[in-house]
Structure 1
Amino acid sequence: MELSELKKPGVRMAIASASLFFGLTLIFILHRYYSFYADFDQGIFNQVFWNGIHGRFFQSSLSSSLSTNVVHDGDVPEVFYHRLGQHFTPALLLWLPLYALFPSPATLSVLQVTLITAAGLVLYVLARVHVQPQIAALITASYYGANAVIGPTLTNFHDSSQLPLFVFSLLLAMEKRLWWLFWPLAVLILAIREDSGVVLFGVGFYLVVSRRHPQVGLATCCLSFGYMLVLTNLIMPLFSEDISRRFMIERFGQYAEGDRATTLDIIWGIISQPLRLVGELFSPFWGTLKYLLGQWLPLAFIPALSGSAWAIAGFPFLKLFLGQGDSVLAINIRYALTVIPGLFYGTILWWGHRQRLHQSQDINTLAPRWPVNFRKFWVACIALSVVLTFMSNPNRTFSFIIPDSIQPWVYVSLPQRWQHVREDIRPLLVQVPDDASVSATTYLVPHLSGRREILRFPDHILLRNDDRQVESVDYVIADLWQLREYQVAFRRDRDRLQQSMTLIDQMLGNRSYGLKEIKNGVILLQKGAESPQDKIEAWRAFRRNVDSLLRPPA
């Protein structure tokens, strides 16, 4: 981009949008991490990266605790478990040198914000291929104001954060006919995750049906579909049985019989049950409609009118709508990013077609004939999208402003939260040696995950080490204050609180662990240690307090 281009209003607006997005999301995501709201998945990825810089690529004891061997067969988590059996994510190796320079979970959060921000700048350049600067800038602002972009940014690090940047870059390479760049980017997209081929398949499908580059499109479809089949049926099973026994059954088990299924089984099940297929596409109806409206809102609903958007985003939408579980229609988590490239590129093409058709630069002339000033309507849609995103409190990022529950009331203020972190959590965390094995509650896991041996409490305290020996962890650290504050409104926190207290009582009762420290509900146990009487009394007092809260009213 030339220097003179940088001075134009459209470019300035795009850069301003990117800068505002980067600055605010970086502040909020780092606050989320340092205030101990980042949770288990942040710990998984940090441990994967930490093991990677020590030559143990894609190994994770935290991932092992989620494996089918542990979940379904009752096995013990292993420190040498390869996560590639759950999710095949070789693209993460690109960022390993950066992590080696700054080995911290916070580095991953900064990386995520940077990747998603950079994707918006590439989107602006892509839009300028087809539309005038004013529309390109609004499309870019729509990207940074989209709930499906902000929400997945303000969460734990995830592999899908690479997707918008790689796909927008691939589409730009296609527009410029830079095939030497197009195909490496296609490979990178496939390397993001085992199911990212669905997004690439949508691009190939569009290239075929639009007749722009039908041969490239057909090759792209064959590459993506073939890769997914070979990967999920032949390569991933070499690492573990998770893809067939856990992930396919959990997400698409309604199309299969038995307790395991391959991708081929699921595809056949979908094809052979057309009535079930139609039912799943529109069920739940209002939930699906709400999800579509949320995705379309920042673009002023133009993607709903764009055939190109449906062609590219249709397959990622299909994958979401055919799945089961609450997460498939959750716009604040990583799955929502899979449809973003198709919706935004389809919108670019729609405006580009209108611009060529009407030979006009005025948005209101090019827009559908609605009785509104369309530019103002579009800006209002972006603003509404941002407001709704904020009000939804994505991934508890704004819990210091917005209550987590109104009835019953659950709100932890900013001073209260930071006092708990400063006075209760950090003094106990520093007492856990860097080379010790540890089991920690969910929100403590990321901060301790830069080690070989770590599990989540109260789920696991036993693991299989590198010598293939099963041992209990050296330390247990639990933030029961967090669970106590939230249990009144959230059943899962209530259950975990009860399980944690029961297990701690057992560990203290059989003296397998000693109570090393307790500070306002944060508990530190050490294997084989003695429990000072004053610590035991403090524990009993805390337990009586929690019991009074959990006891149903008379």
Structure 2
Amino acid sequence: MKWKTRLLPIFSFDRIVRRAVASWFMMALVVLLMRDGDFSATAYLKDMTWDLPICAFLGFFLLISALSALLPTKRTDSFAMLAGLVAVSSMWLSRLMMTVEEKWLFCFVLVGVFALVLWDFVSQNDDILTSLSLPSAVAPWMAVACGVVCAAVIAITTCFRYLTFASPTYDFGIFIQMFHNMAESFEPITTCERDKVLSHFAVHLSPIYYLLLPFYWLFPSALTLQIGQAVVVASGIIPFYLLMKKYGFSAKARVAFSVLYMLVPSVSKGCFFDLHENCFLFPLLLWIFWAYEAEKLPLLAFFTALCCLVKEDSAVYVTIFALYCLISGTTKKRKLMGAGMALYAILYFIFAVWYIDTFGEGIMSGRYDNVSSDGSLVGVIFTAFANPGFFFQEILTRGWESVKYILALLVPLGFLPLATGKFSRWILLIPMLLNLLTDYPYQLELIYQYHFGITAFLLLLTLMNWRDLTGQKRRYMMLVALAASFVFYSYLIIPEVGGRVRNYTADKENFEILEDTLDIIPEDASVNAGTFLLPHLAQRWEAYDVGYHPYADTDFVILDIRGGYDNRSLELRSKCWANGYSCLAETKQVAIYVSPDWDGDFLALSEALSRVEGISHSAAHVMTEQILSVIPKDASVNTMLPLTPYFAENETLYLISEHKTADTDFVVFDLRGSYNDESWAMMEQCVMGGYECLIENEYVGIFVSPDWNGDFLTLKNKLIEMGYIQILPAE
């Protein structure tokens, strides 16, 4: 009778349902562990019988039932259901192989499943959740740990992105060159940003960058900038934590929201397209929010001034928050603080626009031409005032992309930013409209830097709205936000980190060889390079991107040929040959051409290149080397500059550009750029002097003097054996 009384409750209908759902999740996990491949494909279960799923389901059902019998007073079923969902979700999210749109939809559905499971979990275990407590001393250390993890994830991802040559000129190459010149002259000069010598402040007024300059002075590396950005973004955990303390959150709530800060995808993801000044906007806005709530007037003024220095449009974010303060402020002091912020931000914005329009390239209002009556910022304001219906239409003009963007920002926060009935707080959602209204597509992509300000406002709304919730709803909304952030962090962040590290380790040797190859180019030389090469060459005064500078007019032209020559590279290579450039190297990764006007030592560079370990030359280089190897070391040679390294052991060696007489045993032409005027004149001398052509193809031309005392036929037979000379059959 005692056992009957003990067992009956654990087999109630609701507990059986929970146990069945938990067993279902666990069974799905077992199937995933037993079978590789795309679980979203209909063929995934091909050749699988019912045996494994049924046995796994029944086994877990019996196991959870036994656990419930041993612990009858515990809610083991609800814990098992949540644990099973977390476990199988982790596996699903690590093996998403569907289209991008399907992945997003899958994540949204998965968050919905979490919301349902958590509703039951909270209703069953609210007393346990309420009774949980943490020592106050633990909370700040947990917040610091979350900040460190956040910084580490961002730094690892972005540093390995750079090391794998995945960072392009726009915009990381620009900022590397800018910091190099700031360290040299204190001026933010670039040449690759607008294909001319120009201050970056002529494009964006961002004096905030000088805060990173001391660290770059100490460690002048591109990696310093990536790590610096990571630390700046992660530092926002400090004002975020202070806000939670100001709002009176318990220690466990502060820990939970610190974890949320770490997991929200828009915090980390916005750094993954390399360094941008926008990264400062995120922590500085959080400092402004805290200083206002704490009524620290000097600090509020300080952080407001700093925030406006981030970028010309940063003042817009400050103005929006100031408007909120003016409307919601409950005291005269708070309203005056809001008025002061608004006045300063508006005046600074007017100054910044005037400065860029007067001394720079002009304010980038073109991104809002779709909602401007005359293409100006004033036109945007006029349209919003006079035709709000058009504004509302433009918010979702891009359809799925707009909807996805809204959900990507709000779902990871469990929709807490919307959980309010206070009108004044809706003002804090205005920054999100700024991205939705533009027709600039990148502003709706989380990987870019346009979401830091929005994320700061959404986190503020999350804290304020959660503070107003009470009872069970409060705990439920927090858990939903954590679960949603976990889902999207697993989809958007973890694969990015792992992928960057795997890419580097899988091809580390080639990346290091490419880096060593580029390192031989002198720092004082001007370069024109491919977009993924230029960031590794940008620490110099003059650097250009071949995509925007299709000219052979720099000391060095470096083409990225890892995927072969494209039309742009072929065109620029032809210009190099036409302008008399010499080919220093053509490896399987890059082709390096040197200007005839460069006053450096070509042979020294060639020697430095020969010391690069593991370098893999192109087929053309190998063919040229094999052909030239037949020329005896004791023969005198007259050749062109790019071919001189092949004759380093020949005692008598001349350059055609300096020795314009055909009087050596061999005259060797570099024909990769065809004959130029100089080589054509020498070739005519060879013909007139009775020289015999040993070989002439698209790479080299070799002419042998009639006075050479060696055996011409022996050389020719060697080339025939190598396959470089074809013997035509007799007719």
Regarding TM over 0.5, the answer is yes
Question: Using the alignment, how far apart are the partners of 1:170 and 1:121 within structure 2?
Answer: 12
Aligned pair partner of 1:445 in 531, 534, 544: 534
Offset at residue 526 of structure 1 (A): 0.6
Aligned twin of 1:45: 175
Matches within 5 A, 1:318-357: 318-354=433-469
1:104 is aligned to 2:104? no
Aligned twin of 2:566: 497
Aligned pair partner of 2:368 in 252, 256, 260: 252
Q: Aligned to 1:523, what secondary structure does the other structure show?
A: strand
Aligned twin of 2:99: none
1:196 is aligned to 2:277? no
Question: Using the alignment, how far apart are the partners of 1:6 and 1:87 within structure 2?
Answer: 46
How many residue pairs were aligned? 469
Question: Using the alignment, how far apart are the partners of 1:20 and 1:535 within structure 2?
Answer: 56
1:475 is aligned to 2:556? yes
TM-score for both structures, normalised by structure 2: 0.60
Which amino acid in the other structure matches residue 421 of structure 1?
A: F
Question: Using the alignment, how far apart are the partners of 1:106 and 1:522 within structure 2?
Answer: 23
Offset at residue 400 of structure 1 (A): 6.0
Offset at residue 143 of structure 1 (A): 1.8
**Does the aligned pair in 1 maintain the 2:265–2:485 contact within 8 Å?**
no
Cα shift readout 1:506-542 (whole Å, capped 9, x = no counterpart): 322x1432211011031111112844378949x979x
Unaligned 5+ segments in structure 1 are 66-76, 368-372, 402-412, 463-470, 485-495, 542-554
Question: Using the alignment, how far apart are the partners of 2:411 and 2:140 within structure 1?
Answer: 23
Change (3 A) 1:198 1:315: farther
Which amino acid in the other structure matches residue 572 of structure 2?
A: L
**Does the aligned pair in 1 maintain the 2:181–2:187 contact within 8 Å?**
yes
Aligned twin of 1:405: none
Change (3 A) 1:436 1:310: farther
Aligned pair partner of 1:383 in 462, 465, 486: 486
Q: Aligned to 2:329, what secondary structure does the other structure show?
A: coil
Which amino acid in the other structure matches residue 292 of structure 2?
A: M
Change (3 A) 1:210 1:7: closer
More deviation, 200-209/277-286: 277-286
Aligned twin of 1:207: 325
Change (3 A) 1:414 1:106: closer
**Does the aligned pair in 2 maintain the 1:21–1:117 contact within 8 Å?**
yes
Question: Using the alignment, how far apart are the partners of 1:289 and 1:38 within structure 2?
Answer: 29
Aligned pair partner of 1:185 in 297, 303, 311: 303
CA RMSD of aligned residues (A): 2.8
Q: Which has the higher contact order (CA 8 A, sep 6+)?
A: 1
**Does the aligned pair in 2 maintain the 1:518–1:535 contact within 8 Å?**
no
Aligned twin of 1:366: 474
Offset at residue 34 of structure 1 (A): 1.6
Question: Using the alignment, how far apart are the partners of 1:224 and 1:215 within structure 2?
Answer: 14
Aligned twin of 1:489: none
Aligned twin of 2:544: 455
Which amino acid in the other structure matches residue 405 of structure 2?
A: Y
Aligned twin of 1:266: 380
1:512 is aligned to 2:580? yes
Change (3 A) 1:524 1:384: same
Question: Using the alignment, how far apart are the partners of 1:88 and 1:291 within structure 2?
Answer: 27
Cα shift readout 1:215-259 (whole Å, capped 9, x = no counterpart): 221332232233223321x2112222332xxx222x01224477x
**Does the aligned pair in 1 maintain the 2:320–2:428 contact within 8 Å?**
yes
Change (3 A) 1:282 1:141: same
Unaligned 5+ segments in structure 2 are 1-133, 597-601, 603-640, 644-668, 674-696, 700-731
> Which aligned segments of 4 or more residues in structure 1 are displaced greater than 6 angstroms?
none
More deviation, 302-311/175-184: 302-311
1:297 is aligned to 2:427? no
Offset at residue 19 of structure 1 (A): 2.3
Matches within 5 A, 1:86-235: 86-130=203-247, 131-212=249-330, 213-232=334-353, 234-235=354-355
Question: Using the alignment, how far apart are the partners of 1:271 and 1:442 within structure 2?
Answer: 42
Cα shift readout 1:165-187 (whole Å, capped 9, x = no counterpart): 11111221122211011011101
1:82 is aligned to 2:199? yes
**Does the aligned pair in 2 maintain the 1:458–1:500 contact within 8 Å?**
no
Change (3 A) 1:6 1:456: farther
Q: Aligned to 1:45, what secondary structure does the other structure show?
A: helix
Q: Aligned to 2:585, what secondary structure does the other structure show?
A: strand
Change (3 A) 1:26 1:209: same
Aligned twin of 2:15: none
Q: Aligned to 2:447, what secondary structure does the other structure show?
A: coil
Which amino acid in the other structure matches residue 559 of structure 2?
A: A
Aligned pair partner of 1:280 in 394, 399, 406: 394
Aligned pair partner of 1:238 in 335, 358, 371: 358
Question: Using the alignment, how far apart are the partners of 1:375 and 1:343 within structure 2?
Answer: 14
Change (3 A) 1:266 1:375: closer
Question: Using the alignment, how far apart are the partners of 2:263 and 2:515 within structure 1?
Answer: 35
**Does the aligned pair in 1 maintain the 2:284–2:306 contact within 8 Å?**
yes
Q: Aligned to 2:566, what secondary structure does the other structure show?
A: helix
**Does the aligned pair in 2 maintain the 1:480–1:521 contact within 8 Å?**
yes
Matches within 5 A, 1:54-65: 54-65=184-195
Question: Using the alignment, how far apart are the partners of 1:387 and 1:17 within structure 2?
Answer: 16
Q: Aligned to 1:284, what secondary structure does the other structure show?
A: coil
Question: Which has more radius of gyration?
Answer: 2
**Does the aligned pair in 2 maintain the 1:515–1:526 contact within 8 Å?**
yes
1:25 is aligned to 2:142? no
Offset at residue 475 of structure 1 (A): 0.3
